[in-house]
Amino acid sequence: MLAFSRKTLRIRHIKEAQFHKAAADLQTGDIILLHTRFRFLSWLIRKGTKSYWNHVAIVLTTFEDLPGYHSVLVAEAASDGIEIHRIYKFLDNSSYDIGIKRVSGLTKSERDNLTGYILSHIDTPYDYRRLAGLFFAFITGRLDRVMTWINPKSFICSSFIQKAFYFSVSKHHQSRIIFAQPGDVIKTLEFISPADIAGSGQCEWIFNSRK
């Protein structure tokens, strides 16, 4: 048991060192994928989507953005709505494993739009009905049956990230930041999952690649 604990701690320290190296080059708009341990709902999401990842957040500010503030701020759609946290909330907690993806080619204007979209939706409620609809769709395969379940003014974690990108780029670039398979754009915006973002070719892995 002690040997296992030491091995786990050593792996964690290695991952932290690797993350800190990657974090030095983080950009606003980088996507944070999260594997949450010891939570049944998180396990259920991974099981339903057949993915290692169950949650997703987005980088709001980096080490270089705020003079005198030496951390990375991330935004997420959590149980209490859209929130902002230091990234160390996830890094300093053994309950989380972290991956990072990046949408390449974003302009400064698009990154500024992303920041504005995120900040304008702080405290927007989490959409539990939409999450229930996703589970229904996983079981039945009938996503069309649950379109009426959603509240278009609220989010789940992955719809928040997808919409932030979709509405922050020009219309002729929107197709390149759809993270799910081509199809109904409205359904993608509302019901995309962390697994879709993890598996998307529209953003590239820069740390801890898994699907």
Q: 159 vs 11, 65, 89, CA distance in Å?
A: 32, 26, 22
Distance CA 203, CA 45 (A): 21
* CATH number of domain containing 46: 3.90.1720.10
For residue 181, pLDDT beyond 60 = yes
Of the candidates 25, 34, 23, 89, which has an alpha carbon nearest to the alpha carbon of residue 57? 34
Domain span at 62: 2-207
Q: Are 198 and 210 in contact (CB under 8 A)?
A: yes
28: Cβ contacts below 8 Å, ≥ 6 apart: 59, 60, 61, 62, 65, 111, 114, 115
- The distance in angstroms from the start CA to the end CA of the chain is 30
Is 70 exceeded by the pLDDT of residue 175? yes
Q: For the segment 113-167, what is each residue's pLDDT rounded down to a tens digit?
A: 999 999 999 999 999 988 887 777 777 767 677 777 788 899 999 999 999 999 9
State the CB neighbour count (10 A cutoff) for residue 104.
10
Buried-state track 145-173, b at ≥16 Cβ within 10 A, e below 16: ebeebbeeebbbbbbbbbbbbbebbeeee
Chain-wide mean pLDDT for the chain?
86
Nearest to 126 by CA among 96, 171, 100, 159: 159
**Counted domains in the chain:** 1
pLDDT per residue as tens digits for the range 72-121: 899 999 999 999 999 888 887 889 999 999 999 999 999 999 999 999 99
Q: Is residue 4 predicted with pLDDT exceeding 50?
A: no
**pTM (two decimals):** 0.86
